Structure 1
Amino acid sequence: MTPTLLLVAHGSRDPRFGDTARRVRSVVARRLPCVDVRLGFLDLDTPSVAAQLAALRGECVVVPLLLAPGYHSEVDLPALVAEHRRASVTTTQVVGSYRLTDALADRLDEAGAQPGDGIVVTAVGSTNPTAAHVVRRRAIELSTRLHRPVDVVFATKLGTEDIMLRNAIRRLRTAGAERIALSPYFLSAGLLTERVETALDRLVSDAVVAGPIGTHPVLVDAVVDSYRRACADAAVDMDSAAS
């Protein structure tokens, strides 16, 4: 029996996030027409991950639609899987473990970014140092790909009077940026992306704002690759156990 694919998203009170996650599920389902592709939310939206796990039968591959590792991937999700005692559930790495740099570059191009722009990559922010490292690695990759200065600002850590964003803009200007472009390392637009956009508008008048990653093919590829790799690994394990 083909394992079910359960996409796990963070969840938000902003309906745009849920809409985006559901669009991702639909695109993935079209890429995997013989697979039952489901979606569950860790918080603030339905169906919940717990409800989806309780309803599942047979084997399941869980793919977290999270752009960096953190509390939700390392604590919340494993606890939910363990609570439902489903030994047939395989959880993959978060999709942010893949290089999503192409998606960021394409979204900037769609927004009209130019070679003279300095880029601010913005992400949610986390107390997990690995999460910050992943975001900064994406920024380095983006700078290498586009040959432009790139800085990082976390949406939940803008500081008093947006000092962190002010400093990032100052560094980009010093590096030769003629204009500032904002690159959201987010699955969806929402309150946090708007917080950074609003702060940026207060500081500069001609900024370019790219769209979030959304259903970009690179993200869909990351989900599909994660699922297929998990299925292949499970098949190898079963063969080894039978031999």
Structure 2
Amino acid sequence: MIPDRAPQLLLVAHGSRDPRFGDTARRVRAAVARALPRVDVELSFLDLDDPLVGDVLAADTADRVVVPLLLAPGYHSEIDLPRIIGDRARGDVRSSDVVGRHPLTDALADRLTQAGLRPGDGIIVTAVGSTNPAAASVVRRRAIELSTKLHRPVDVVFATRLGAQDINLRNAIRRLAAAGSQRVVVSPYFLSAGLLTERVENALDRLAPDSLVAGPIGTHPALIDAVVASYRRVVDAAALPAQAG
């Protein structure tokens, strides 16, 4: 339940030089605001876009719940963002886990269906890639969930680790073919289209020109639900000590 004096929800997205990312993040903010009409929902970025999260936190003493609009844990969620909150926050600021901790499999499945998924297709889930093992674990878990849901082979390729001559993507295509897939369909585990999704698409055009690429997660209801659930969990947890007292 949202209290009468609800803290602000501050979404924190990664940021990108590609304007499509900022546009998508702002559409997500608007969708979350519609889902939480009694809450002030704001958007900030870790880098490359304005406003920066540190500037928003330092601007006033408002109570805030920070929800990282990140699809997997990593340096930004575990090191960078906590440091910024500790250094810049002036009010009572609490942070949720990244939204990617919530199952977003329905979003990936729906985007594939919208793109024209058909029987006999094999799927490659693409994601950013991280040195944090937990990030890779989250992406691979989504791939397993997607394979179970759609009853077809699903492989994973990280956009920042295509390898020399795109060997990692090439091997994923071969594994799907060996599993009986007649066509490759890419499922971007990304909030928005951008330079990294285009890197994968360009490589795929060379290796499997008859392949299909689904849209990114964007404003899918599963993502909005994940943001709302993250916010409510932090608000409810903060209310428990007050109720006990």
Q: TM-score, normalised by structure 1?
A: 0.97
- Report the alpha carbon displacement of residue 85 of structure 1 after superposing the two structures with TM: 4.6
- Alignment partner of 1:158: what SS? coil
- Report the alpha carbon displacement of residue 13 of structure 1 after superposing the two structures with TM: 0.3
Contact 2:112 2:214 in 1 (8 A): yes
Q: Distance in 1 between matches of 2:155 and 2:129?
A: 14
Q: Distance in 1 between matches of 2:191 and 2:62?
A: 29
Match of 1:194 in 2: 198
Offset from partner CA, 1:68-113 (integer Å, 9 cap, x none): 0000000110000100254611100000000000000000000001
Percent of aligned pairs sharing the same letter: 70
Match of 1:147 in 2: 151
Match of 2:121 in 1: 117
Structural RMSD (CA): 0.9
- Alignment partner of 2:225: what SS? helix
Q: Which amino acid aligns with 2:155?
A: D
Match of 1:230 in 2: 234
- Alignment partner of 1:13: what SS? coil
Match of 2:101 in 1: 97
Offset from partner CA, 1:171-228 (integer Å, 9 cap, x none): 0000010100000000000000000001001011211100000000000000011111
Contact 2:62 2:90 in 1 (8 A): no
* 4+ runs deviating over 6 angstroms: none
- Report the alpha carbon displacement of residue 33 of structure 1 after superposing the two structures with TM: 1.0
Unaligned runs of 5+ in 2: none
Match of 2:75 in 1: 71
Number of aligned positions between the proteins: 241
Match of 2:180 in 1: 176
Please state if 1:53 is matched with 2:57: yes
Contact 2:72 2:139 in 1 (8 A): yes
Please state if 1:36 is matched with 2:46: no
Match of 2:161 in 1: 157
